[in-house]
Amino acid sequence: MDVPNGLIVLDSKFATYYGFTSENFYVDTYLEGNTSLRQVVIPMLISNNPGTGHFSKAIKKLLRDGIRVSIPTPVPKMQKILTIWGFEVNWDPKAGIEYWVYPPHGAKVD
């Protein structure tokens, strides 16, 4: 599936395909797509049912489809998960925030 450019809201065609639905995530959750980088940024994500695996399934499906995932300044609990999954921390001095990215820069997205 092609990554749309710009804001990706819950329950949109792309979001639903990857499991980002209002059933699984709080209404203020959203994604940002970058077509040219084939990347999805997840700036705001709140699970309706933490610990049920909806986030994990969505991320794994994005990665299986060759889509890079970037999460700006995740909360400590999410940092632990992302560390286990092999996400790389990148500091963006211009924005003044860190991005946790997978696959790490330089690694090929399969």
Range scoring the smallest mean pLDDT among 19-28, 68-77, 97-106: 97-106
Strands annotated E in 1-110: 6-9, 30-34, 39-44, 68-72, 88-92, 97-102
pLDDT digits (tens, 9 = 90+) for 77-93: 889 999 999 999 999 99
Say whether 21 sits in a helix, a strand or coil. Answer: coil
Q: Is the pLDDT of residue 16 over 60?
A: yes
Reported confidence tier of residue 1, pLDDT bands at 50, 70, 90: confident
Q: 12 to each of 17, 26, 60, 61, how far by Cα in Å? A: 8, 14, 19, 16
